[in-house]
Amino acid sequence: MSIDTYGPDGMIALEGGKKARKNLTSGRLRLMILFLVLAFGAIGARLVMLGISAGGERAGQTVAAVAAEARPPIVDRNGRDLAMDILVPSMYASPRQIIDLDEAVEKLSAELPDLDREWLRDKLDGNEGFVWIKREMSPAAQERIFNLGIPGINFRTESKRFYPGRNIAAHVLGSVNVDNQGIAGIENYMDSDAFAMTRLAGEVPEGEAVRLSIDLRVQYALQAELADALERYQAIAAAGVILDVATGEVLALASLPDFDPNDPKSALQEGRFNRITAGTFELGSTFKTVTMAGALDSGAVSITDEFDAREPIRFGRFTIDDYRGKRRVLSLPEVYKFSSNIGTIKVMQQMGKDNFRAFLTRIGFDDELPIELPETKRSSIPHVFSEVGAATASFGHGLSITPLHMATAMAAFVNDGIMVPPTMFVRSREQARELGKRVISSATSMQIRYLMRLNALEGSGRRMNRIADGYLVGGKTGTADKVVDGRYDPSKGFTAFASAFPMNDPRYAMVIIVDEPKRENEQSGTTAGWNAGEITGRVVEKIAPVLGIVPDFSEITEASLVPAELRNSVSGE
């Protein structure tokens, strides 16, 4: 029997039944939502576990089996690109997903013949979730391998360091490894705690390009002339550095043979080290500038003094003579411009060997190079000089220093006597003044500038001066026999030229070295004036206009460099 209930409008709704059905539907929806949440939660948890597992496997590979962090770009002082990151594909494998090992090895070996087949098979034959196969590939190679459709072979994008200038400033920039970590040069320094501190101090802002003191225009000119020197003089190596004397900024630094930072392993080839900071050499008579600066500053000698250079000097069984002796009494300027070993020894002896040794310490020759490049070496100087040791050291023999040490000293000698530590980063004059220390007096600095210019006009720097005429370069040559198996070998020479310009208002110091130069032609020689000196002249000729230095041929300017004590002296003319 059925019961029908009617209301005023006909059918009467059964309110209780509707509510029951509504509650039932809502409950089912809540149950379904709960089920979906639990299901997706389980899937998410599994993905996290897989991610952690893959991360653990990656950590078991190299330091960075994940994409390496990007490095900030490096630019020169004018904002020109020196190093940057680019994105490149790298190939990895999930061996547990490899279906046909032999097929995978065969196909990959055909596309990448540089991979060792046994190594590749060993990499793919496992249960790992992640192994690197080929880092930093070309996009074309990636496309070819992708089209092979090999299960378990995948790609990821990584940052790769790129150096647009290739070998330009290679020893300054250094290089990075496959994980984009610095392994040499500024790249290595950028990963150091010292660099991190500069960023914390706001000196190199986070996220901005790292700006070096290098001037790419000057760097190109220096490197081109050194490359020419290797061919012109058939030398085994050549190197040079140019400093701003007031700030200590390195405008250019090159050492040849060099390498391409885009191919870091090329730096491992023989002879490709930074001779400016990581090489120590006997720089020969360039050291006479150091001796003169120390002796004049001590007050033990005067620029008007004279020294008897008629006879060689004997120390027991050792006899020291001049290369081309004048066999007469020489004024101090003549000792310098004629590069007299005898006269230089007597200048040093007036000062005293212990005071001479202390002066080398004062100008930083015993210290580590205060430069941001990690490739540095200490100079090699005896702690205590014997009489003969001090004598040979006075003209640059029996001790070895880095060319950058010499360049820093030369900069101080012409910079009113203020020594500023060298740097690879841009530095203001205000910052330099805070770091600078006086090593000789202003008066001594004036006298050294005169001597250096005199040598360019009348001494061993004449060939250099003819090339760089008008730019008022001053400097000193140095020629030494190399030490081979503990003995000096006269058949293997080493030459140097230490200079500064313009001498009426010094702005830049430079040191050029040439290892085992040969005669350019039958009429030329092998001493420093013929090679290191001429290289210096050609470099100045190219870079002076770029640096805003106008040639000056005024006799008044030249006369202003002569100390007052010598202006009426025949020996100073």
Q: DSSP letters along 417-436, please? A: TEE---BSB---HHHHHHH-
CB 309 within 8 A of CB 335: yes
- Residues 195-219: pLDDT tens digits? 888 776 666 676 689 999 999 999 9
Among 448, 468, 80, residue whose Cα is nearest residue 245: 448
pLDDT the model gives residue 111: 85
Q: What is the mean pLDDT of residues 555-564?
A: 93
pLDDT value at residue 196: 83
Peptide bond into 502 cis (omega under 30): yes
Over the chain, what is the mean pLDDT?
87
The count of structural domains within the chain is 2
Domain boundary among 188, 211, 234: 211
Measured CA to CA, the distance from residue 186 to residue 293 in angstroms comes to 33
Catalytic residue of the set 285, 339, 340, 460: 285
Report the pLDDT averaged over residues 220-238: 97
Q: Does residue 424 sit in the same domain as residue 487?
A: yes
Q: Is 141 helix (H, G, I), strand (E, B) or coil?
A: helix
Q: Same domain, yes or no, for 383 and 406?
A: yes
Residue 33: inside a domain, yes or no?
A: no
Where among 211, 232, 248 does a domain terminate? Answer: 211
The H helix count followed by the E strand count for the chain is: 19, 20
Instruction: State both tokens at 507.
Output: 């702005």
- What residue numbers bound the domain in which 483 lies? 218-572
pLDDT score for 193:
86
147 is a domain residue: yes
- pLDDT at residue 238 above 90? yes
Is the whole-model pTM more than 0.85? Answer: no
pLDDT at residue 44, rounded to an integer: 54
Q: Look at the block and give the residue holding tokens 């206009």.
A: 545
Q: Is 285 a catalytic residue?
A: yes
Beta strands in 1-100 (DSSP E): 6-7, 10-11, 74-75, 81-93
Domain identity same for 326 and 462:
yes
| 313 has a pLDDT exceeding 90 | yes
* 233 CB-contact burial (10 Å; exposed 0-12 / middle 13-18 / buried 19+): buried
The domain that holds 224 is classified in CATH as 3.40.710.10
Listed residue (268, 267, 258, 263) closest to 136, CA to CA? 263
pLDDT at 60: 35
Q: How far apart are CA 294 and CA 363, in angstroms?
A: 10
| 19, burial (CB in 10 Å: exposed 0-12, middle 13-18, buried 19+) | exposed
What CATH number should be reported for the domain holding residue 96?
A: 3.90.1310.10
Is residue 514 one of the residues assigned to a domain?
A: yes
Instruction: Note whether residue 63 is domain-resident.
Output: no
154, 259: one domain: no
User: pLDDT (tens digit, 9 = 90+) per residue, 9-45?
Assistant: 444 343 444 444 555 556 665 666 666 656 565 555 5
Judged by DSSP in three states, 175 sits in strand
Q: Is 396 left (phi over 0), alpha (psi -120 to 50) or beta?
A: left
Q: Which of 211, 243, 265 is the last residue of a domain?
A: 211
| Predicted pLDDT at 115 | 87
What are the pLDDT digits (tens) for 155-184?
888 888 999 999 999 999 999 998 888 999
Q: What tens digit of pLDDT does each residue of 34-75 get?
A: 666 565 655 555 554 544 444 434 433 333 333 446 789 999
